[in-house]
Amino acid sequence: MAWDTERTKQLLLDAATAEFSEYGLAGARVDRIAAAAGVNKERIYQYFGKKHELFAVVLAEALQAALQAVNAEGTGPDAVGDYAARLFDHHMAHPEIPRLVYWEGLERGIAAADSPTRAEFHAEKVDRMQRMLPGIDRVTAGELLLTLVSLVNAWPVLPQLDALIIPDAGDRAERIATRRAAIVQTVTAAAAAAWVVAAD
């Protein structure tokens, strides 16, 4: 029976995603990834190279999946707010994505920005923001996108701040809905302000 290379790669990527999102790059263990995937760890080196290269593939795949799943649609500030809402929903369903991004920032810092693939990925996201708010310049679009992503990514990763700042928030589902609405309101207002400036 032939070896199913693609299936093996996917098993390893799934296991690595869980491992890296839980422990980060430094804390992740290749042995645990291989064991969770039910695959010999030599396959990791064969398919992906060293641990940091596997981390880069895991993060790139997770971000690309999010880009495909959450389209930036429509024009105007409300469309930007809707995009923030849908991205928030996606990241709540897939908390490994913001966790991986935070681990990357903590462990790789500015060095992560040297990747041409990542640069192209984020350039496309800025392009999408400019299409949503026709007339805004690239720097403004980038600032708005950075604000949106920071708000959406932070909440699933920093639950302690939520508990400290808003204690006794009550029902979890209600708290999620309230936070989602706050993010949408903030992002929509920021988009509206940027669009007004662009129109002047």
Domains of the chain: 1-51 (1.10.10.60), 70-199 (1.10.357.10)
Mean pLDDT score across all residues of the chain: 92
Task: Provide the pLDDT for residue 2.
Answer: 45
Task: Provide the pLDDT for residue 1.
Answer: 37
Q: CA-CA distance, 111 to 11, in Å (whole number)?
A: 28
- Token pair 């645990």 is found at 32
Contact 53, 115 (CB under 8 A): no
Q: CA-CA distance, 63 to 100, in Å (whole number)?
A: 10
Q: What is the CA radius of gyration of the chain?
A: 19
Pull the structure tokens for residue 100: 């991986």
Count of alpha carbons within 13 angstroms of residue 92, beta-carbon side: 17
pLDDT at 141 over 60: yes
Residue range 75-88, pLDDT digits in tens: 999 999 999 999 99
Residue range 41-66, pLDDT digits in tens: 899 999 999 999 999 999 999 988 88
Q: How many CB atoms lie within 10 A of CB 170?
A: 9
Q: CA-CA distance, 110 to 28, in Å (whole number)?
A: 21
